[in-house]
Amino acid sequence: MYMSLEYNLVHRVNMGDILKRSAKRFPNKIAIIEEERRISYRELNNMVNKVARGFQSIGLNKGDRLSLISSNSIEFMLVYFACAKAGITIVPINTSLLANEIEYIIRDSESKAVAVEKQFLDLIRTNETIDSLKEIILIDEDPNSRHEAASKRLHHWNSLWETKDDREVYCEVLDRDLMQCLYTSGTTSDPKGVMSSHTAVYFNTLGTAYDLKFTEQDVSIAMLPMYHVAQLNAISTPVFLAGGTTVVMKKFDPEQLMTIIENEKATQIFGLPMMYRTLLDHPKRPEYNLTSLRLCVYAMAPMPEYDLRRAHEEFQCDFALLFGQTEMAPVATVFRPEHQLIKSGAVGTPAVNVEVGIMDQNGELLSEQEIGEIVYRSPQTMEGYLNDIQKTEEAFAHGWFHSGDYGYFDEDSILWFADRKKDMVKTGGVNVASIEVERAIFQHPNVQNVAVIGLPHEHWTEALTAFVVSKDQEEIVEEEIIQLCKQQLGGYKVPKKVITLKEFPMTSSGKIQKHKLRSDFANIYEKVNK
């Protein structure tokens, strides 16, 4: 065993080594900031080693799984890197889930422990029936008080790790040992556990740091949820690898964000398109100095061209879109700064460690301009779906990972996203990409957000239906939207109905839950049908 560990340590791939190496390169540099707390790389690495030993002291060993229920915090990253060093698989959980949904993930992942913020403790303290769950760790205790334990298994944060040795924690970690298991949103079924290895997450981290040109000079603001792979592995871990500084925000607040950018001289932010629009429209925007920004990253969806041009003019910095999915850890393509204004609406070129293809239903790769399913090959690809061999085999058919997205390459080898496979609308026997119609509707000056779906219809099979949220919260005249679409789209792509909503059902990562719209409005054409 000693020789095996000794051999493994020479060339192992372990996400925890990112922090150890940055601490050697930049020991006194500030690694992470949260409100008044400022922690250097040396201090952060030492704390992580203590936490890893604390986990080991309560019986957590290599290969065990630990669920984490936490909002953005320094403690989140301590748990994350400590799990990596100890060979424990981390299972970050969406904090907006209900108790039964959280129980499903803990049970399905067979987590041995849960690290949880006090505000979420009630969501798990009744889960005494989960056989695998042995330990509960309260990660934000008040040092002057003690929370009543749900059982003898509850451990208080400070007492778990503060007295432990801060020397490096070493264990044998093979390249494809699991680093993390993140659960997809489960919009059509129970969420699936996406198993990603240390190698996959490390390659993504290294590649994204290269693609976005992160250096030790960068100051990045983490305002999207860290439990989501986009913030965690597309931005946060690459910043730590580069030796930059991460400023933690609990959630997006436009004025607080602008204050932090000005005070900390932030160089990089990562947000959703709607967040950038909120900043652009904020009445106090001119009061803040944001000239330190060099790069604004966005994800989840292309930014409407009008907003993108406004943002370039206002912020005077580069913009980049990251496109991918949890199964790719997550970055598959990068829509780079040089393409933003000449290829508006595209999703970019392959990330440095990713090969991208377009495939038909028979497993044949297609040529430029041909629409098919986007497929990937990369060491970043997941190991598979936890407890679901059939879905794993389907995802890896024909020797490629199948994304479930439709798209195509243009004449310049730039990838364009057409639609999610499940969001393509077949109306009157013809396929329509909802995103194409959404782009047209976004050009209406009063549209804040839009979603296009197909709903059951006797004549059309699926009637193309647009849902909009207005900027002024007033109803948008349906005919205005229809005429706008008629000016830009073929007749079969024009919505049959336009419905104004006060707000959309959203996931915590900012995606519109189209399945809920389909369910809630499934019967709106019944009278027409009759």
What is the dihedral sign for C-alpha 432, 434, 435, 441? Answer: positive
Q: What is the pLDDT of residue 185?
A: 67
Domains of the chain: 2-28+36-197 (3.40.50.12780), 252-420 (3.40.50.12780), 424-529 (3.30.300.30)
Other CB atoms within 10 A of residue 386 CB: 20
Phi-psi region of 485 (alpha: psi -120 to 50; beta: other; left: phi over 0): alpha
Residue 418: band (very low, low, confident or very high) from pLDDT cuts 50, 70, 90: confident
Q: What is the DSSP letter of 234?
A: I
pLDDT at residue 387 tops 80: yes
pLDDT at residue 150 tops 60: no
Residue 515: band (very low, low, confident or very high) from pLDDT cuts 50, 70, 90: confident
Residues above pLDDT 70, as percent of the chain: 94
Q: What is the pLDDT of residue 453?
A: 93
The lowest-confidence range among 146-150, 286-290, 464-468, 489-493 is 146-150
Q: What is the pLDDT of residue 2?
A: 54
Q: What is the pLDDT of residue 125?
A: 64
Name every residue whose Cβ is closer than 8 Å to that of residue 161 and which is 6 or more positions away in sequence.
Answer: 47, 50, 51, 53, 54
**Token pair for 368:** 């430029």
pLDDT single digits (tens) 230-245? 999 999 999 999 999 9
Q: What is the pLDDT of residue 495?
A: 95
Q: What is the pLDDT of residue 527?
A: 59
pLDDT single digits (tens) 307-351? 899 999 999 999 999 999 999 999 999 999 999 999 988 999 999
Q: What is the pLDDT of residue 98?
A: 83
pLDDT single digits (tens) 11-48? 999 999 999 999 999 999 999 999 999 999 999 999 99
Q: At what angle do helices 74-86 and 16-25 cross, to 10 degrees?
A: 110
The amino acid at residue 159 is S
Residue 530: band (very low, low, confident or very high) from pLDDT cuts 50, 70, 90: very low
The lowest-confidence range among 86-90, 150-154, 172-176, 463-467 is 150-154
Do 403 and 372 meet the contact criterion of CB atoms below 8 Å apart? no
Which residue bears the tokens 């981290």?
205
- Measure the CA–CA gap between 127 and 407, rounded to whole angstroms: 43
Strand partners, 197: 178
Q: What are the two backbone dihedrals, phi and then psi, of residue 309, each rounded to the nearest 5 degrees?
A: -70, -40
Do 14 and 199 meet the contact criterion of CB atoms below 8 Å apart? no
- Measure the CA–CA gap between 153 and 166, rounded to whole angstroms: 24
- Measure the CA–CA gap between 319 and 269, rounded to whole angstroms: 10
- Measure the CA–CA gap between 233 and 205, rounded to whole angstroms: 6
Q: What is the pLDDT of residue 268?
A: 98
pLDDT single digits (tens) 397-408? 999 999 999 999
pLDDT at residue 488 tops 70: yes
Rounded to the nearest integer, the mean pLDDT of the chain is 92
Tallying the residues shown for the chain, one arrives at 530
Residue 126: band (very low, low, confident or very high) from pLDDT cuts 50, 70, 90: low
What is this structure's pTM?
0.86
pLDDT single digits (tens) 495-510? 999 999 999 998 766 7
Do 497 and 483 meet the contact criterion of CB atoms below 8 Å apart? no
Higher pLDDT, 246 or 302: 246
- Measure the CA–CA gap between 137 and 140, rounded to whole angstroms: 9
Q: What is the DSSP letter of 75?
A: H
Q: CA 117: distance to chain centroid? A: 21
User: Cis omega (within 30 of 0) on the bond before 330?
Assistant: yes
Q: Give the Cα-Cα-Cα angle 45, 46, 50 (nearest 5 degrees).
A: 115
Q: What is the pLDDT of residue 146?
A: 52
Which residue bears the tokens 């003898």?
152
- Residue range 89-113: average pLDDT? 93
Residue 512: band (very low, low, confident or very high) from pLDDT cuts 50, 70, 90: confident
pLDDT at residue 149 tops 70: no
Q: What is the pLDDT of residue 208?
A: 98
Q: What is the pLDDT of residue 491?
A: 87
Higher pLDDT, 152 or 414: 414
Instruction: State whether residue 297 is helix, strand or coil.
Output: strand
**Token pair for 356:** 């991208």
pLDDT single digits (tens) 201-237? 999 999 999 999 999 999 999 999 999 999 999 999 9
Q: What is the pLDDT of residue 270?
A: 97
What is the dihedral sign for C-alpha 201, 205, 210, 212? Answer: positive
Q: What is the pLDDT of residue 80?
A: 98
Q: What is the pLDDT of residue 511?
A: 78
Higher pLDDT, 79 or 423: 79
Q: What is the pLDDT of residue 508?
A: 65
Q: CA 153: distance to chain centroid? A: 31
**Token pair for 287:** 């009061």
| Among the listed residues 233, 253, 460, the one whose alpha carbon sits nearest the alpha carbon of residue 328 | 233
pLDDT at residue 188 tops 80: no
Environment class of residue 43 by beta-carbon count within 10 Å: exposed (0-12), middle (13-18) or buried (19+)? middle
- Residue range 466-494: average pLDDT? 92
In the sheet where 355-359 sits, what is the strand order? 355-359, 372-377, 401-409, 415-420
pLDDT at residue 3 tops 70: no
Residue 396: band (very low, low, confident or very high) from pLDDT cuts 50, 70, 90: very high
pLDDT at residue 529 tops 50: no
The lowest-confidence range among 78-82, 138-142, 146-150, 155-159 is 146-150
pLDDT at residue 420 tops 90: no
What is the dihedral sign for C-alpha 296, 502, 499, 458? Answer: positive
pLDDT at residue 145 tops 50: no
**Token pair for 509:** 């990562």
List helix spans (H) across 364-464: 389-395, 434-441
- Residue range 409-435: average pLDDT? 85
